Amino acid sequence: MFLTLLNIVVPVFAVVAVGFAFGRRQRHADMGFVNLANVVVFCPALVFSALIQNPVSVTESWPLILAGVLTIVLPGLLLALFRFRGLERRTLVVAGMFRNAGNIGIPLMMLAYGADQLGAIIILFVLSNLLHFSLGLFILSKDAGRWQWLKNPNVWAAMLGVLLADHRAMLPEFIYTSADLLGQIAVPLMLFALGVRLSGGEVGDLGMAFRVNLAYLLAGAASFALVAWLLPLGNDWLRLLALSVMLPPAVLNYLLCEQYRCQPDRMASIVLLGNAMSVVTIPLVVYLTLTYL
């Protein structure tokens, strides 16, 4: 089991480490163009091709969809009940709700639980994106978020993938093959870009960042337990949800806090330390889910 765990976890963090080393060495490397291409081209291609190759029935997958929404919203509601000195409530809540579902979540879940789960993994990723660019932006800035999700290409790629999954003949095969090739770029590029982004940060107020990340993990675990008790979820979906609520805070949280002037320095510390802590928490969660679910 230990060797299996290493084979699952090490490749993910190895690619992040390569990006981190590159970022440290190339201090002035501009990843803006690369990240933009990943967001608007490669990730939507991955979403589309994954849903084409792993058809998802919305009517049959409603427990997973509802569970995915609840495991994002419930931690935010729980965290809103608490206060941390020097930390705005909106900063606390947003980072607790939106985890690193793309950069780490997709490759890790595929390696841990199998590529046959990619359709369900993509559902959780798209839900996180949709809520991040609607509810998340609304929390950070009430003037920003209501219709922002309509600009997210991943949402439209998901809709197209669901609609065409059972009607592949509507488009020529080379379109699906091209989307698949483009989508294969997304996951390693996500991990590499995450490493580069983390290399440029510094952790300040370590005690506060540790307490906040510990609160995130506890809120996530409590939310998962409630959702698992309430909804009819099979073991395959429970594994995905258990890992999704224990992922570190998304790097995008820092970028959005910087954009909306919502304590970006504190958010940077929370995100950086959360990703560092995941080196311990993620292998533990993977081990527990593979052993007991």
Say what the pLDDT of residue 73 is: 96
- Given CA atoms 102, 124, 114, 56 in this order, what sign does their dihedral have? negative
Please, what is the Cα angle at 240 between 239 and 241, to 5 degrees?
A: 95
Q: Which of 8-12, 77-81, 235-239, 247-251 has the lowest mean pLDDT?
A: 8-12
Tokens of 33: 């163009």
Q: Rounded to whole angstroms, how far apart are CA atoms 4 and 13?
A: 15
CB 119 within 8 A of CB 247: no
The residue among 223 and 136 whose pLDDT is bigger is 223
Domains of the chain, first to last: 41-292 (1.20.1530.20)
pLDDT tens column, 187-207 = 888 788 878 877 876 666 788
pLDDT at residue 86, rounded to an integer = 86
Q: Using alpha carbons only, how large is the chain's radius of gyration in Å?
A: 18
pLDDT of residue 194: 77
Q: Within 13 Å of residue 119, how many CA atoms lie on the same side as its CB?
A: 17
Mean pLDDT (whole number) for 149-174? 84
Beta-carbon contacts of 4 under 8 Å, excluding residues fewer than 6 positions away, are 290
Using CA atoms of 173, 176, 179, 181 in order, give the dihedral in degrees to the nearest 10.
-70
When the pLDDT of each residue in the chain is averaged and rounded to a whole number, the result is 86
Q: Where does the pLDDT of residue 232 fall: very low under 50, low under 70, confident under 90, or very high at 90 and above?
A: very high
The pLDDT-based confidence of 142 (bands split at 50, 70, 90) is: low
Give the per-residue pLDDT at 2.
66
- The answer on pLDDT for 15 being more than 70 is yes
